Chain A
Amino acid sequence: MEAPAENFFTPVVPLDFVYNYRVGPYIERYLRGFKDKKILGSKCPGCGKVVVPARMYCGPCNRRMEELVEVSQEGSLENYTIGHVILEKGAIKPAKGPYMLGLINLDGTDSLLLGRVEGVSVAAAKPGLRVKAVWKEELDGDFKDLDHFEPV
């Protein structure tokens, strides 16, 4: 049989997928902390490690973490990348300029927090660089309240 080349069927599926994910009590309190410019982590009763954002379980210990602790707003940049494109409604577009995304180990914690990093040149970026949290002017109790990190 001759192989067909051109026939497509393109159904349009008229559905809106709406998801409403409950954040649970830990992220609820984490975001409430943002309103007071506080960063909350949870502390494992087994290994004593502190993870940010606050969460219920310590996997390695299989223990519930009941204790929430306020952690430092300063830490070290452990890993980074520099973006040159952005995603807009699923399409890749050029960014206005290069921007840095970092994984930050806040002092006294045992986890990495993702954040935008400003005020660091590509040449100056290196693991171990000391950074601090910078908050938005108006705080809504939203993830976006913690605007970015900048060098100490």
Chain B
Amino acid sequence: MRNVGIIGIGYTPVFVSKRKDVNIAEMISEAVEDCFANTGLGPDDIDAMVFGNMHTFEGVNMPHLWAADYIASLGKPVMRIATGGTTGMSAIHAAYYHIASGLHDVVMVVCFEKQSEGDSQVGLMGIVTPEIMAMLQAGIDISGSSGMGALAGGSAGAISFQASSYLARSGAGIEHIDGMAALERRNAAKNPYAHLKDANATAESVARTALISYPIRFGHICPTSDGATVAILASEEKAAELADGAAWIHGLANCASDASAGNILEGVITDPAEQMPCQLAAKQAFERAGIKDPKKEIDCVEIYNGFAHQTLMFLEKLGMCEVGEAHKLLDAGELEINGRCPVNASGGVVSTNAIGTSAMNRVTECALQILGQAGEHQVEKDVHKALSHGWGGLMQYVTITVLADKPRKG
């Protein structure tokens, strides 16, 4: 397979609750224009397009077709990807397949969400309710996703089982979720494209926010954002011709478990904090990337964390530390932007969540760290290899992308 690198990134000027001044297509075009401006490339340089947004949230499922004028896709091959929360990273993976296979040389990925134009909780329930009803009829265990219907707060209701189990298994306390959320809000304050920013956030200030569903507080939860992200990926040959540098994809993988969001892969007791797909996908991606010890070889991490406990939980599942160790790294300051294992220097999904972009931004943020272009939220240490993680589906689907500063050998 051919090497593939990310050679350009574009964002909408802001990620905010409500972009009242533009329509969907106009908002997306801002990120496309930003990417072209950053790279000096134009529509003629692009061979094919991959587009992504979440099912149901704004109710638009074919914007890649009707907004063609606005994403410079007229006359080009184009496909839409929708895998749930992981959509943005699945779109990056699709572009990777396009290029690694030799079919195309330069592919543009365009992802967006304009959550203010729909109702996210209704959108989520609109997906989950028919899904679990059909699953029920097929005799499938729905215990994982049913929490969304059974508890108030949609995904926050469902996620509380996961957070509760994580705390019980890891020995971490709710104060660690508070501390993790505070760290990410502070990082977000350094990122011009982040939504919820608080330069002065502390575990104590987060602890003062209301409990939604134990152990999840309001301050642990992602916002709903409007925004778009664009990336241009290229083959090694084209990257040398078109760009000054690139962040190279060394390994990628994805994996889903059974719909109980548990561990049928491992055993019989449903535990939404087990996240076997994450462990399996990470293992596969590391193998492909030739990484033997991620603790030593990965310089920074971007984790998909709609809820702040997930940063800690997934650090363990990804093999970035031992089980039960993540909250100790937090206490030791090692997860900070200047720490030994900087995580979500961007502020993470918990600070910015235009869903179609959320898993994609984990990749683009790792790419910016590798290229040294993250600006004020550039991590202190040198970044040679970075790990990005996406999570979603029915809370049991994970995508992984490993990036590096040099093309992969062999």
Question: Using a CB–CB distance below 8 Å, which chain A residues touch chain B?
Answer: 9, 11, 13, 15-27, 55-60, 62, 64
Instruction: List B14-47 residues whose CB lies under 8 Å from chain A.
Output: 19-26, 29, 42-43
In the complex, are the beta carbons of B26 and A56 less than 8 A apart? yes
Show 5 A/B contacts (Cβ-Cβ < 8 Å), sorted by A: A17-B59, A17-B126, A23-B23, A25-B26, A58-B69
Q: How far is the CB of B388 from chain A (nearest CB, A)?
A: 30
A to B contact number (C-beta, < 8 Å): 74
The answer to whether A15 and B22 touch (CB under 8 A), given A56-B70, A59-B74, A62-B43, is no
Contacts of A20 in B (CB 8 A): 116-118
The answer to whether A56 and B68 touch (CB under 8 A), given A11-B130, A15-B125, A19-B117, is no
In the complex, are the beta carbons of A17 and B119 less than 8 A apart? yes
In the complex, are the beta carbons of A22 and B22 less than 8 A apart? yes
Contacts of B23 in A (CB 8 A): 21-24, 27
Residue of A nearest to B68 (CB): A59
Q: How far is the CB of A46 from chain B (nearest CB, A)?
A: 12
Q: How far is the CB of A125 from chain B (nearest CB, A)?
A: 29
In the complex, are the beta carbons of B126 and A59 less than 8 A apart? no
Contacts of B129 in A (CB 8 A): 11, 13, 15
In the complex, are the beta carbons of A19 and B25 less than 8 A apart? no
Residue of B nearest to A60 (CB): B74
Known: A13-B130, A20-B117, A56-B25. 16 other contacts (CB 8 A): A9-B137, A13-B125, A13-B126, A15-B125, A17-B126, A19-B117, A20-B118, A21-B24, A21-B117, A22-B22, A25-B22, A26-B26, A27-B23, A56-B26, A62-B43, A64-B29
Contacts of A21 in B (CB 8 A): 23-24, 58, 117
Contacts of B68 in A (CB 8 A): 59
In the complex, what distance in Å separates the CA atom of A58 from the CA atom of B118? Answer: 27
Interface class of chain A by DSSP? loop
Q: Does B72 contact A (CB under 8 A)?
A: yes
In the complex, are the beta carbons of A9 and B133 less than 8 A apart? yes
Contacts of A59 in B (CB 8 A): 68-70, 72, 74
In the complex, are the beta carbons of A57 and B25 less than 8 A apart? yes
In the complex, are the beta carbons of B118 and A19 less than 8 A apart? yes
Q: Does B122 contact A (CB under 8 A)?
A: yes
In the complex, what distance in Å separates the CA atom of A120 from the CA atom of B72? Answer: 40
Q: Which 7 A-B pairs have the closest CB atoms?
A: A59-B69, A24-B23, A57-B69, A11-B133, A59-B74, A62-B43, A24-B26
In the complex, are the beta carbons of A18 and B70 less than 8 A apart? no
In the complex, what distance in Å separates the CA atom of A58 from the CA atom of B72? Answer: 10
Residue of B nearest to A59 (CB): B69
Contacts of B42 in A (CB 8 A): 62
In the complex, what distance in Å separates the CA atom of A11 from the CA atom of B74? Answer: 41
In the complex, what distance in Å separates the CA atom of A64 from the CA atom of B29? Answer: 10
In the complex, are the beta carbons of A24 and B59 less than 8 A apart? no
Q: How far is the CB of A137 from chain B (nearest CB, A)?
A: 30
Q: How far is the CB of B309 from chain A (nearest CB, A)?
A: 28
Q: How far is the CB of B71 from chain A (nearest CB, A)?
A: 9
Residue of B nearest to A20 (CB): B117
Contacts of B130 in A (CB 8 A): 11, 13
In the complex, what distance in Å separates the CA atom of A62 from the CA atom of B33? Answer: 10
Q: How far is the CB of B26 from chain A (nearest CB, A)?
A: 5
Residue of B nearest to A23 (CB): B23
Residue of A nearest to B119 (CB): A18
Residue of B nearest to A18 (CB): B119
Q: How far is the CB of B140 from chain A (nearest CB, A)?
A: 13
In the complex, are the beta carbons of B25 and A22 less than 8 A apart? no
Contacts of A17 in B (CB 8 A): 59, 118-119, 122-123, 126
